[in-house]
Amino acid sequence: MEEFYSASAAEADALTDADVVDSSAEMEEVVPKKKERKPINQQKLQDNLWGWIFCAPLIIGTVWFVYSAFVMALMLSFTNYDMSTNLSLGTVLGNLGKYAYKASTIDPETGIAIPVGSGDALHWYKEVFTHTIMLDKTYPANEMGLHLFNTVFYMIGIPIGMILSMFFAVCMSRDIKGGNVFRVLYYIPCVASTISIVYTFRIMFSTDGVMNKLFGGISLNWLNPVNPLTWNIVTGSQTPNAFMDSTYWCQGLVSKAVIVIMSVWKGLGGTIILYVAGLSGVNAATKEAAQIDGANGWQIFWKVMMPDLYPTIFYNIVTSVIGGMQIYMEPVLLCGEQINTSGYVSLVYRYGLNSDKMSVRNPSAGAAYGMVLAVMIFVMTLFQFWLDSRKED
């Protein structure tokens, strides 16, 4: 009997120890172990630090000169702030809408000119879409519409430049002698300054320039705004019609055609380089397989090369449209500030910074024109990305 009780006690002790072990194991499972902290990689930390140091100037410059300026311009567009008043910019921005467009009044206590607003904070946006001018002193026309038409006309050069650059890129991608020399020659206009290119084209398209010599010594007035052309002058008729007597639809089209030619020639080299780089990434094995299957050169180009070039083409289209909507310097340098050729950005400069357009510089008006342009570019870019997403689907 003693042996039985002693054996039972030993078994009970063993079971108790087993339960303790099981309970401790369960507790270890319930309470997770603390993760051990990985040692800091000093080399990686140093690399990240130097990376942020090098990126800091770009980040600070972008935030200060782009995003901050954009927000400031957006706020200004709802005010009537101009540079001739003594009213501080902070006071104006602190009373958005209150200082909407209206004549200024003088505060009798401080002597400061204060814009007394009518409460119409959208005044300048309404002005953008409704302001009219006398075109050639014959009939009223919407000023924004005329400048926007000029800008859209210049964008004709985008498909022309893309087709030409694709053609030259395909030619340069072939294994021919002197291919690198042609790449350098076509890229030179991208390196040259815009002033030198404009000066060269002004000489080429002058009344006694090389272009008129090529056409048999005629004295076609390509750029001169002093004696502008009309369709009545070109055709020799005397039609009493505003369209026939409008220099905008005759001299303006001729001058804009010269600007398109210059823009295409100037931007051709950069686009060629991008297409050459894209063509070098086309799968050679796929091209050889297509040739073995009997595909000709045209079929290989459309079925094999073009799909691989699509990212490059899409990038060129997006950046070209954005740059084309912002064209300003080429028309102004080549033809001056005139309604026949000035792009939309000219309105931002003339109303916001140029005192010749208005009695005073009015940044609020220029900001409103700039915001409308930003919205147009944003919508067009979104539309292009939407088309790109549909293609992928």
Give the model's pLDDT for residue 284: 77
**Residue entry with tokens 């005759």:** 250
Name residue 227's amino acid. Answer: N
Residue among 381, 370, 380 at smallest CA distance from 66? 370
Give the model's pLDDT for residue 107: 55
**Angle value at C-alpha 53, between 47 and 57, nearest 5 degrees:** 150
Give the model's pLDDT for residue 38: 63
Encoding tokens for residue 298? 């045209």
Residue among 86, 160, 77, 166 at smallest CA distance from 120? 77
Cα separation of 30 and 271, whole Å?
63
Cα separation of 160 and 151, whole Å?
16
Question: pTM (2 decimals)?
Answer: 0.79
- Yes or no: say if 255 and 335 are a contact pair by the CB < 8 Å rule: yes
pLDDT in tens, the chain (393 residues): 545 445 555 554 544 555 554 555 455 555 555 566 666 677 788 888 999 999 999 999 999 888 988 988 888 888 877 666 666 667 677 767 666 655 555 555 555 555 555 567 788 888 889 988 888 777 788 999 999 999 999 999 999 999 999 998 888 877 777 777 877 888 888 888 889 999 999 999 988 888 888 887 677 888 876 778 888 888 888 888 888 888 888 888 999 999 999 999 999 988 998 898 888 888 778 878 888 888 887 888 888 888 888 889 999 999 999 999 999 999 999 988 888 899 999 999 888 877 554 445 678 888 999 999 999 999 999 999 998 888 765
- Yes or no: say if 369 and 358 are a contact pair by the CB < 8 Å rule: no
Residue among 327, 183, 206, 334 at smallest CA distance from 268? 183
Cα separation of 267 and 79, whole Å?
39
Give the model's pLDDT for residue 308: 84
Give the model's pLDDT for residue 358: 47
CA distances from 191 to 187, 331, 367 (A): 7, 19, 32
- Yes or no: say if 198 and 333 are a contact pair by the CB < 8 Å rule: yes
Give the model's pLDDT for residue 104: 56
**Residue entry with tokens 């084209």:** 201
Let me know how long the chain is.
Answer: 393
* Domains of the chain in sequence order: 42-122 (no CATH), 129-392 (1.10.3720.10)
Cα separation of 53 and 353, whole Å?
35
Cα separation of 91 and 203, whole Å?
51
